[in-house]
Amino acid sequence: MGVLYDQIRSTALSHLTLRQTLARGLGDPINGLYATNASAPLQKEAGIRQVYKYGLYSYCGYLNDSAGTCSNSTMGNKYLPYNDLLADMSLNYSALTIFIINGTSSFTSQSIGSHTRSASYLILIGTICAFLAFVM
């Protein structure tokens, strides 16, 4: 069928790769919204990342599959992605986002954070109890 067809077929493009390719071709459609420095600290209005990954003790923001930075590790870390995104945006974009989304979704709810905090403490207590059961 041709060399181009074989290249397209052999190269599996993920959604992220396709999005980055479009961004390179078109430029940043919203100037200053996205981070350009992978080592920029989180929650300092340095721009939102392409990918966010959350764990029990911290979260990380990545510009691509490998370049990114993580927050400080904290026991009982709350899962509040909306607040994390707002803290990464510059003030003019976060004010607009708050105006549009505020009160329209459970995504902005603080109860998600309290449940995840409780879950991490229960995991800690369960780990201590399991350790004591093995020792005794």
**Residues 14-44: pLDDT tens digits?**
444 555 555 555 555 677 788 888 888 998 9
Q: Please name the amino acid found at residue 105.
A: S
The domain limits of the chain are 32-135
CA distance 1 to 104: 50
Residues 116-122, mean pLDDT to the nearest whole number: 85
What is the signed CA dihedral for 61, 80, 105, 14, rounded to 10 degrees?
20
Of 124 and 23, the structure prediction assigns the larger pLDDT to 124
Q: What is the pLDDT of residues 59-104, one digit of tens each?
A: 899 988 788 999 888 887 888 888 888 898 888 888 877 777 776 6
Q: Which two tokens stand for residue 107?
A: 């995504």
Q: Please give the average per-residue pLDDT across 106-113, as a whole number.
A: 67
14's tokens: 């993920």
Q: Is the pLDDT of residue 105 over 70?
A: no
pLDDT reading at 127 higher than 90: yes
Q: Is residue 60 a contact partner of residue 67, using CB atoms and an 8 Å limit? A: no
Full-model pTM: 0.66
Between residues 108 and 75, which one has the greater pLDDT?
Answer: 75
With 90 as the cut, is the pLDDT of residue 132 above it?
A: yes
